[in-house]
Amino acid sequence: QKTRIQLMAESNCTQVTEFSLTGFTEDPVTQVTLFLIFLLTYFVTILGNLVMIVLTRASPQLQSPMYYFLGNLAFVDLCSSTVITPKMLVDLTSEKKGIAYAGCVAQVFLFDLFAMTECFLLAMMAYDRYVAICRPLVYPLVMSPKCCFQLVTGSYLIGLTNGIGQTIGMFNLSFCGSSIIDLFFCDISPLISLSTSDPTLSYVILTTSASLLGVSSNLVVLVSYMAIISAILSIRSAKGKRKAFSTCASHLTTVSIFYGTALFMYLKPSSDSSRGGDKWAVVLYTVVTPMLNPLIYSLKNKDVKEALRTLAKTKYLECCK
């Protein structure tokens, strides 16, 4: 229970209405350089993911469960990048790097929604590869259009639950002291550190979300790939092994980048001397990874490359008429 002193302090609290983001640097030349780099990254992210969405919708050879998941992954990457990058670009050109309380709440909600949705979409894609390689005879039945729709819808609902939970945790916090967030966007972890009220509920929600949702999606990926590797190793011919591995190589690369940067971001011990390095790890997780996903699939997947060539040829012929 709260003491009388704590209750009096909270009743006299002047709630922060705006937060200040530290960003990356105060050096003007470095800010311009970073602005150009991140602007190019965002442009490639938007273009790459939009092309992937169009391809998975319009191309006849990409009408399969794997590409249905891939199209939704591209949509989530497009949204998650848009939640973070435009505000970051504005701050790199402004002296005042501030964000209103309502804007901070919106960033926390949307970032946690799309981040958790992506976790489960990647897990569903791993399950799809498991069924395709380990149980090919029942693949059309197990991964039916109805089942795929339910898996994708479930991923979005889990992401929505996570976003609502973290937002409730933020509403439970009071900010009467420092309003400086040592990052380039609003994340729940630094906000808990800034809070002048009891953060127990926020910690419980954050820990529960990471334990139940994050760990469960990781387990689906891990168990699926353990079964996939075991199945591939049991194939006698080298050609058969290469063919089986090629069907999940792009997804495995995407999973490695996403979970690798996420684990580094959230599990690496933080210290004053490592905050700069932590920011660049967060950049890799929030800004670079959404750009890499469509590039990985377009460069490593023959079907996607063929669909892209067909689409480009069709558009070229239409323009020449």
Domain membership flag for residue 295: yes
Give the pLDDT of residue 112.
92
The mean per-residue pLDDT over the stretch 280-291 comes to: 85
- How far from chain centre, in Å, is Cα 74? 10
Higher model confidence: residue 277 or residue 163? 163
Are 65 and 90 within 8 A, CB to CB? no
Domain membership flag for residue 105: yes
Domain membership flag for residue 9: no
Domain boundaries, position 262: 18-270+277-308
Q: What are phi and psi of 180, to 5 degrees?
A: -95, 120
Whole-number percent of the chain with pLDDT over 90: 30
Domain membership flag for residue 131: yes
pLDDT tops 60 at residue 16: yes
The mean per-residue pLDDT over the stretch 19-35 comes to: 86
Domain membership flag for residue 320: no
- CA–CA separation, 234 and 227 (whole Å): 11
**For residue 63, what is the domain's CATH number?**
1.20.1070.10
Whole-number percent of the chain with pLDDT over 70: 88
Residue range 133-162, pLDDT digits in tens: 888 889 999 999 999 999 999 999 999 999
Give the pLDDT of residue 146.
93
- CA–CA separation, 282 and 265 (whole Å): 6
Give the pLDDT of residue 280.
78
**Per-residue confidence band for 300, with pLDDT thresholds at 50, 70 and 90:** low
Domains identified in the chain, total number: 1
Token readout for 218 is: 């990781």
Beta bridge partners of 99: 19
Domain membership flag for residue 285: yes
pLDDT tops 60 at residue 271: no
- How far from chain centre, in Å, is Cα 31? 25
Give the pLDDT of residue 267.
59
pLDDT tops 60 at residue 4: no
- CA–CA separation, 92 and 100 (whole Å): 17
Mean pLDDT of all residues in the chain? 83
The mean per-residue pLDDT over the stretch 32-36 comes to: 92
**Per-residue confidence band for 2, with pLDDT thresholds at 50, 70 and 90:** very low
- Residues 6+ positions from 37 with CB-CB distance below 8 Å: none
Give the pLDDT of residue 98.
85
Residue range 76-121, pLDDT digits in tens: 999 999 999 999 999 888 878 888 988 999 999 999 999 999 999 9
Higher model confidence: residue 238 or residue 128? 128
**Per-residue confidence band for 196, with pLDDT thresholds at 50, 70 and 90:** confident
Whats the size of the chain, residue-wise? 321
Higher model confidence: residue 9 or residue 28? 28
Give the pLDDT of residue 89.
92
Give the pLDDT of residue 213.
84
Q: Helices (DSSP H) in the chain: which residue ranges? A: 4-11, 28-58, 65-92, 101-134, 139-142, 145-171, 188-194, 200-208, 215-233, 238-246, 249-267, 275-283, 289-300, 302-320
- CA–CA separation, 227 and 233 (whole Å): 10
